[in-house]
Amino acid sequence: MFYLDPLYLGIMLITVIITGIASLMVKTAFSAGQKVKLVNGISGAEAAQRILDVSGITDVKIVKTRGFLSDHYNPMTKTLALSPAVYEGRSASSAGVAAHEVGHAIQHARGYFPLKFRSALVPMASIGSRFGIFLIIISIIMQGVSKAAEGTEASMYIGVAGLALFASAALFSIVTVPVEFNASSRAKVLLRETGIVQTSGEEAAVRRVLTAAGLTYVAAALTAILQVLYWAIKLGLLGNRRD
């Protein structure tokens, strides 16, 4: 079975390592940034509102949500949800994360193409992440039990369809990377321009937090690519098929 395949186990090990490192970096950077208190003393929610006001965005609502670093922007409801540590915090970390999420709201308001493209991928990516793998496994099983050329050809069509669905989820992860880094770039500029970040220490802390957060999306994209390549090999589309 695939889960006993050394190649599959190797990919899983790489996945665990890179995602674990990325997660640790975010937590470490955020914790360190919380110790850097803003000179102006405003909260993450206040920083988000100031940037929205300066950007001329008046139809986005800021709310507090639950969880650690569960911050996100919902383009459907135009809601900016900030976790308690960010919403109430008065540190460089709070300002950085809040500004990053406002960056997504600005992308939405300005019609930033990569964000629109990622949103368009959501339905297919959702289906692909749920059902793509099942079609791939069915194809592999059919190839293993079928000796007829017709059966092999049919199984390959099923496998390619499954891989295409699965790859759509990977594409979503890949497109997410420039979307996130762009939001962070906007955040760093606006934090300086609005006077929310005033010292080099605050700016450095914000940069570390946002860079670490961005690397989590890079890790997710790399993981998705490795998985697509693995299943392409198993289906015989790259190199020799592994049984």
**Which pLDDT score, from 0 to 100, does residue 3 have?**
59
Cβ count near 61 (within 10 Å): 11
Each domain of the chain, given as residue ranges in start order, spans: 2-234
| Distance, first Cα to last Cα, the chain | 8
**Which pLDDT score, from 0 to 100, does residue 243 have?**
47
pTM of the model: 0.88
Q: Could you report the per-residue pLDDT of 27-62, keeping only the tens digit for each?
A: 999 999 999 999 999 999 999 999 999 999 999 999
Q: Which of 46, 101, 180, 202 is catalytic?
A: 101
Least confident of 69-83, 194-208, 228-242: 228-242
**Which pLDDT score, from 0 to 100, does residue 242 have?**
46
Nearest to 168 by CA among 218, 128, 133: 128
Crossing angle for the helix pair 44-54 and 149-193, to the nearest 10 degrees: 90
**Which pLDDT score, from 0 to 100, does residue 93 have?**
97
Kindly tell me if the per-residue pLDDT of 10 is higher than 80. yes
Q: Could you report the per-residue pLDDT of 167-216, keeping only the tens digit for each?
A: 999 999 999 999 999 999 999 999 999 999 999 999 999 999 999 999 99
Q: From residue 177, how far is each of 158, 170, 183, 212, 220 by CA, in Å? A: 30, 11, 10, 12, 9
101 is annotated as an active-site residue: yes
> Which pLDDT band, with edges at 50, 70 and 90, does 148 fall under?
low
Please state, in angstroms and rounded to a whole number, the distance separating the CA atoms of residues 142 and 145.
5
Least confident of 52-61, 65-74, 136-145, 171-180: 136-145
**Which pLDDT score, from 0 to 100, does residue 146 have?**
62
Kindly tell me if the per-residue pLDDT of 239 is higher than 80. no
